[in-house]
Amino acid sequence: MEKTKIVYLDHAATTPMSNEVYMDMIEACGNIYGNSHSLYGVGRDAEKALSEARAKIAKAIGAEASEIYFTSGGTESDNWAIKGIARANRTKGNHIITSAVEHPAVLESCKALEKEGFRVTYVPVDDKGVIKYAELIKSISPDTILISIMSANNEVGTIQPIRAIAELAKANNIVFHTDAVQAVGAIDFDVKEMSIDAMSISAHKLYGPKGIGALYVRKGVRIEKFMNGGEQESNKRAGTVNVPAAVGFGKAIEIAVRDLEENNKHLRSIRRYFLKKISEAIHNISLNGHPTQRLANNASISFEGVEGESVLMMLDREGIYVSTGSACASGSLAPSHVLIAMGLDAEVAHSTIRFTFGKSTTKEDIDYVVERVRRVVKKLRSISAIRIYKNKVEL
Ligand SMILES: Cc1ncc(COP(=O)(O)O)c(C=O)c1O
């Protein structure tokens, strides 16, 4: 029987681990078994490997090694940054500013803080997903202690004006955190030059391992300890660090920064090709996100008259892996908060598919995918109650 071709187009969800990372991790798993906090030989070996990984992460974003703390991933980094900075600065004020399109790791952390008595402003975005800067300025008050705005959005790929926001925060003596989980490896970062006070990173979005990330915290920024226990990570984040994963993370970020230009060039070319092919093949589609201020790997497309979940399931049968703009919450399918914040109506939001390309995506993959998406959308539109009701979508 002919084997189904697999085309993975969900690189914003996670990336396959690169071979170089894998080889370094295998070596670390085999040879570096000590606890990095132990004072004898194998412990010192582990501590050395950890320091090297920390130095690589620091170098990649223009930070000092002592400003990098290992965490379990982007979610923990966001939780720690937001809760830790807010709680440590509470005597100065209790107001936090974030945006309506943040990842749940940020939004839910803010909601948790609201229950502790903090006041949170969720700044709206325009129809391209860019934060409304004038509204951000208006929302600043004397009791604002933290601004947290993501560098690039995970659903539509829009890049925020991070430099301007960081400068604004600095001018108002407010701590600025950015969730850069989707942006590191796609955008050049120099946290010092960009006035970023805290930044969340995750290894598995960079062809590194899952379950490890980092929080950069600028020296001098007040942040509460997040995990209680031992004195690891300069007594700021307790728990034995996963050394092989840290080694893989260090390698992955080193490669991501080294190959940034080349990857972006490849992704731009793939994206252009995909958009041309898909708009030739299928009518009544719309592209979400900013046309230029954007990640090169993301194409979020709404297919009028079909349900994204049905497209996803039918593509899955063809070996094509994509994601929808919907978040599955407690058994009910809620439309994406990002697309709704950008002004899409719930029906259009539900018809959205996110395609995110990667290093290994080829034009042949795109030809294969576009043809199958065309067939799937045609089929679904032909049986769509919405289409019959509206009687307007061309097949
Ligand atoms: C923007 C953003 N922030 C945070 C996270 C959470 O990262 P992790 O999966 O490492 O916990 C993700 C993952 O999808 C993300 O896209």
Q: What is the CATH number of the domain that holds 27?
A: 3.40.640.10
Q: Are residues 137 and 236 in the same domain?
A: yes
pLDDT tens-digit map of 307-349: 999 999 999 999 999 999 665 544 457 899 999 999 999 999 9
Q: Would the CB of 101 count as within 6 Å of ligand 1?
A: no
- The angle that helices 260-281 and 243-258 make with each other, rounded to 10 degrees, is 70
Q: What is the pLDDT of residue 364?
A: 98
Please say if 110 is a catalytic residue. no
pLDDT tens digit string along 251-296?
999 999 999 999 999 999 999 999 999 999 999 999 999 999 999 9
- Assess if residue 3 is contained within a domain: no
Q: Cα(226)–Cα(238) distance, rounded to whole angstroms? A: 8
Residue 20, CA atoms < 13 Å, CB-side half-sphere: 10
At residue 37, the pLDDT reads 86
Residue 8 domain-assigned?
Answer: no
Range of the domain at 345: 260-390
Residue 293 lies in a domain: yes
- Residue 74 CA to ligand 1 centre (angstroms): 5
- Residue 330 confidence (pLDDT): 46
Domain presence at residue 117 = yes
Nearest CA to 249 out of 392, 387, 49 is that of 49
CA distance 257 to 166: 22
How many other CB atoms are there within 10 angstroms of residue 231's CB atom? 11
* Together in a domain, 183 and 48: yes
- Strand 332-334 relative to strand 285-288: parallel, antiparallel, unpaired? unpaired
**Contact by Cβ (8 Å): 99, 131:** yes
Among 224, 242, 258, the domain-final residue is 258
Last residue of a domain, one of 258, 286, 303: 258
CATH number at 280 reads 3.90.1150.10
Q: Which positions ≥6 away from 189 have C-beta within 8 Å?
A: 60, 61, 62, 180, 183, 196, 199
Q: Determine which one of 23, 137, 287, 328 is catalytic.
A: 328
The pLDDT score that the predictor gives to residue 385 is 64
The reply to whether ligand 1 has any atom less than 6 angstroms from the CB of 73 is: yes
What pLDDT, on the 0 to 100 scale, is given for residue 125?
Answer: 98
Give the whole-angstrom CA distance, residue 144 versus residue 85: 12
- Please report the atom of ligand 1 found closest to the CA of residue 75: 11
Last residue in a domain, options 207, 236, 258: 258
Q: How many angstroms is it from 140 CA to the middle of ligand 1?
A: 27
Q: Looking at the structure, do residues 90 and 134 belong to the same domain, yes or no?
A: yes
Greatest Cα pair distance, the chain, in angstroms, is: 75
As averages over each run of 10 residues, the pLDDT of the chain (395 residues) reads: 84 97 96 88 92 98 98 98 98 98 98 98 98 98 98 98 98 98 97 98 98 98 94 92 97 98 98 98 97 98 95 96 70 84 95 97 98 97 69 57
CA–centroid distance, residue 159 to ligand 1 (Å): 15
Q: Alpha-carbon distance 31 to 158, whole Å?
A: 42
- Is the minimum distance from the CB of 356 to ligand 1 under 6 angstroms? no
Q: Which of 108, 205, 297, 323 to mutate to test the pocket of ligand 1 (most atoms within 8 A of CB)?
A: 205
- Looking from the CA of residue 152, the nearest atom of ligand 1 is 1
Q: Do 360 and 274 share a structural domain?
A: yes
Q: Please tell me if the CB atom of residue 25 comes closer than 6 angstroms to any atom of ligand 1.
A: no
**What is residue 4's predicted lDDT score, i.e. its pLDDT?**
77
**What pLDDT, on the 0 to 100 scale, is given for residue 387?**
57
336: CA distance to ligand 1 center in Å? 15
